[in-house]
Amino acid sequence: MFGNQHLITFLFFLFTGFFLIQWAKKISVKKQDFVGNLIAFSLSFTIIAWTAIKIYLHGFNLKEDLPFHLCNVIALFLPIFSITKNKTIYEIIFFWIFAGTTHSVITPDLTDGFPNFIFFKYWYVHAGLIIFIFYATIVYGFKPNLKSVFKSFLALQIYIAFMFLINYLTNANYFYTNHKPNGATALDYLGDWPTYIYVAELIMIPYFLLFLIPFQFLKKINKKIT
């Protein structure tokens, strides 16, 4: 964390995402949809291909390699939103990505460095999700609102309940419901198990609201201008 590989990769995706979105704003709607679909399907395919490779190489571990971690689940279902432009899906994944995936980029749970394939897969999926949600917001024009916070929170509760069931059946630790990640993460500041789960639940809605503030601020500015 915060070593040269981390910082260089972070900056690479930061600038890539910025210039991609600036370029996409200038092209036709048809081309915008094509680029969005390309990002979404490539992220989903990366998860599917990685799982298939693990199975083919007889390296698949039921406790670690099912695509059930939050970012993997988002990537798998991303093409549905990219094709349908369903607002509810956007509202759900907006907060999941900004509140969850961003932590995976800032404090990566990654032990394999460049040029290991795991390194590329990890960064492409996590940074790709962040780029895509910015793309959907800026290029597609989607915006979250107060109701979006509660929709995303309720959807997350369903996901967490499912993860508890999966972890119980497989003795795994998807979404870190049984113990914290091995590497340093923000969960380290929330106490030991199961305290960090309760604390995370309590602060989830206030935390989601923080990501809504910029949109409320811009909304007020637009009203004053008009």
Q: Which domain holds residue 170?
A: 4-225
pLDDT value at position 106?
A: 87
Residues with Cβ within 8 Å of 5's Cβ and at least 6 positions away in sequence, in order, are 113, 114, 119
**pLDDT (tens digit per residue) in 140-158:** 999 999 999 999 999 999 9
pLDDT value at position 111?
A: 75
CB 79 within 8 A of CB 136: no
Query: If 0-12 CB within 10 Å is exposed, 13-18 middle and 19+ buried, where does residue 57 land?
Result: exposed
Count structural domains, the chain.
1
Q: What is the largest CA-CA distance in the chain?
A: 61
The pTM assigned to this predicted structure is 0.90
Residue ranges, the chain, pLDDT below 50 = none
CB 39 within 8 A of CB 75: no
* Rounded CA separation 35/22 (Å): 13
CB 108 within 8 A of CB 6: yes
* Rounded CA separation 187/158 (Å): 21
